């Protein structure tokens, strides 16, 4: 029987193909289909639901706000909701970290924030070129797609994507080649063919690119090169930020201070569209309205984002719990890798952004499909979908975290067994 989705929805839909049921309601780390079947959600809106589905604190605040006829849409005008969000962001995020940034509210998706970040860097420096990295993912609008590595997304743009110099990410060519040295050499060589960059845009953990982790040392070297050559450092924290790696910003423990930071995904606290660019004050050189958009600053998201900040970031407790769960996740994933014959699987990632990477890339789809049949929603990432990525809500209970990992472990063992790749001792 053809469904209304088959009849009308564009062929571009993707997640619906991996999880072919009709979802109806969701709560915390669980999502339910129309028959009432419960799935543990290790995808969590691709990192948008760090505080769980329908977070009760955010939901209550939003219901109160709507009930009081609070402003839903206000262009970029001053509203009470915006003032309260700004106040909480200053008090819980900027001040404790001694950070000084101006906040630019862009159109509500991550790619909007990336476009604005790249534009303002170009405007400030008067340069057009931007350095981006292999396996980086920054969105699919033309500017962001140019910085994105994946050919599937780039190909969809239909025009040449320019203005980017691509450099290998940390570890791309193994541990012996430090790609910051390549960048430095190219910048110093008048004949390298590289135009002086306005900015470098980097993820500290490449979420879509396969959970590649940049080391603190590599990022610090990158920052030093940026400073030396008048290049702005943009950290795209859209997926790795908002607590995902165990601190609010993914770069906090890494000894760098980006000039520009992009945030979106979990920023709103409950999955509402919302994006933000943090810009060091000296680089906030926009003219009024120069970069605009009808949906800049979603007032409902201001309310829920403020509530998430007040609830989870007013003390170190939440971050500590995320770090505890990350250690548990690592332990369980390591145990899964031990199911396989040597060299077949290894763990990747950082914090609550970890997964398992397969040498035999064709196995991952079979495993995630079986996980879904067993009640776990989990997706892959990486250029060949070779990494199974755990991106569960940070608020997940230990019981659900273990239950989800039990399913992943059992399904991995089944598929490895069928492929004759179980560890000999198993």
Rounded to an integer, what distance in angstroms lies between the CA atom of residue 133 and that of residue 206?
10
The reply to whether 203 sits near ligand PLP by the rule CB under 6 A is yes
- Total residues contacting ligand PLP by CB under 6 A comes to 15
What would the x/- binding string for ligand PLP be over residues 295 to 334, using CB under 6 A?
----------------------------------------
Whole-angstrom CA distances from 419 to 215, 264, 371, 384, 412 are 34, 40, 17, 18, 11
- Which of the ranges 81-89, 122-130, 171-179, 202-210 carries the binding residues for ligand PLP, by CB under 6 A? 202-210
> 79 or 111: whose CB is closer to ligand PLP?
111
> 390 or 411: whose CB is closer to ligand PLP?
390
Judged by CB under 6 A, the residue of 122, 138, 296, 348 near ligand PLP is: 138
Please report how close the Cβ of residue 43 comes to ligand PLP at its closest, in angstroms. 12
- Which of the ranges 27-35, 110-118, 210-218, 389-397 carries the binding residues for ligand PLP, by CB under 6 A? 110-118
In the three-class reduction of DSSP (H, G, I as helix; E, B as strand; rest coil), residue 221 is classed as helix
What would the x/- binding string for ligand PLP be over residues 36 to 75, using CB under 6 A?
----------x-----------------------------
The reply to whether 404 sits near ligand PLP by the rule CB under 6 A is no
DSSP 104: E
Helices 398-418 + 317-337 axis angle, to 10: 20
Rounded to an integer, what distance in angstroms lies between the CA atom of residue 267 and that of residue 269?
5
- Residues in CB range of 223: below 8 A, 6 or more apart: 233, 256, 257, 258
Subset of 217-246 contacting ligand PLP (CB under 6 A)? 236, 238-239
Subset of 263-282 contacting ligand PLP (CB under 6 A)? 264
> 111 or 304: whose CB is closer to ligand PLP?
111
Please report how close the Cβ of residue 42 comes to ligand PLP at its closest, in angstroms. 16
- Which of the ranges 103-111, 162-170, 280-288, 295-303 carries the binding residues for ligand PLP, by CB under 6 A? 103-111
The residue with its CB nearest to ligand PLP is: 110
The reply to whether 115 sits near ligand PLP by the rule CB under 6 A is no
In the three-class reduction of DSSP (H, G, I as helix; E, B as strand; rest coil), residue 31 is classed as strand
**What is the rounded (10 degree) CA torsion for 93, 96, 101, 107?**
0
Judged by CB under 6 A, the residue of 208, 259, 386, 400 near ligand PLP is: 208
Phi and psi for 208 in degrees, rounded to 5? Answer: -80, -25
> 148 or 395: whose CB is closer to ligand PLP?
148
Across the beta sheet with 197-202, what order do the strands follow?
102-105, 276-279, 260-263, 232-236, 197-202, 129-133, 164-167
Give the residues across from 212 on adjacent strands. 206
Dihedral-angle region of residue 121 (phi above 0 means left; psi in -120 to 50 means alpha; beta otherwise): alpha
Helix (H) or strand (E) holding 88: helix 80-88
Which positions touch ligand PLP (CB under 6 A)? 46, 109-111, 114, 137-139, 203, 207-208, 236, 238-239, 264
């Amino acid at each position: 029987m053809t469904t209304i989705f088959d009849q009308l929805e564009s062929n571009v839909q993707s997640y619906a193909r991996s999880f072919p049921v009709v979802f109806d309601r969701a709560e915390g780390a669980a999502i339910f289909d129309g028959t009432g079947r419960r799935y543990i959600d290790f995808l969590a809106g691709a990192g948008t639901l760090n505080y769980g589905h329908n977070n009760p604190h955010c939901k209550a605040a939003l219901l109160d706000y709507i009930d009081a006829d609070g402003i839903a849409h206000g262009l970029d005008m001053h509203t009470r909701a915006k003032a309260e969000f700004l106040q909480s962001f200053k008090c819980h995020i900027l001040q404790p970290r001694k950070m000084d940034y101006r906040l630019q509210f862009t159109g509500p998706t991550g790619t909007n924030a990336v476009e604005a970040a790249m534009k303002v860097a170009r405007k400030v420096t008067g340069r057009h070129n931007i350095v981006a990295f292999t396996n980086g993912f920054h969105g699919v609008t033309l500017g962001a797609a140019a910085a994105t590595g994946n050919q599937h997304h780039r190909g969809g743009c239909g025009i040449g994507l320019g203005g980017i110099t691509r450099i290998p990410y940390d570890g791309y060519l193994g541990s012996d080649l430090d790609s910051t040295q390549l960048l430095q050499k190219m910048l110093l060589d008048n004949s390298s063919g590289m135009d002086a960059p306005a900015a470098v845009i980097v993820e500290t953990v490449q979420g879509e690119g396969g959970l590649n982790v940049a080391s603190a040392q590599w990022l610090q070297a990158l920052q030093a090169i940026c400073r030396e050559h008048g290049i702005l450092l943009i950290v795209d924290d859209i997926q790795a930020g908002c607590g995902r790696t165990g601190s609010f910003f993914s770069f906090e423990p890494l000894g760098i201070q980006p000039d520009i930071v992009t945030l979106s995904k979990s920023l709103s606290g409950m999955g509402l569209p919302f994006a933000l660019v943090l810009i060091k004050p000296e680089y906030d050189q926009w003219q009024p309205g120069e970069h605009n958009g009808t949906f800049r600053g979603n007032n409902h998201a201001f309310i829920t984002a403020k509530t998430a900040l007040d609830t989870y970031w007013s003390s170190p407790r939440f971050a500590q719990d995320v770090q505890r769960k990350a250690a548990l996740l690592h332990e369980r994933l390591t145990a899964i890798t031990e199911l396989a014959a040597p060299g077949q699987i290894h763990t990747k990632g950082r914090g609550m952004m970890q997964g398992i990477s397969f040498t035999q890339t064709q196995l991952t789809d079979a495993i995630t499909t079986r996980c879904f049949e067993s009640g776990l929603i989990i997706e892959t990432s990486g250029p060949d979908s070779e990494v199974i990525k755990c991106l569960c809500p940070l608020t997940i209970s230990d019981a659900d975290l273990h239950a989800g990992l039990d399913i992943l472990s059992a399904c991995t063992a089944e598929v490895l067994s069928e492929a004759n790749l179980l560890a000999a001792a198993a």
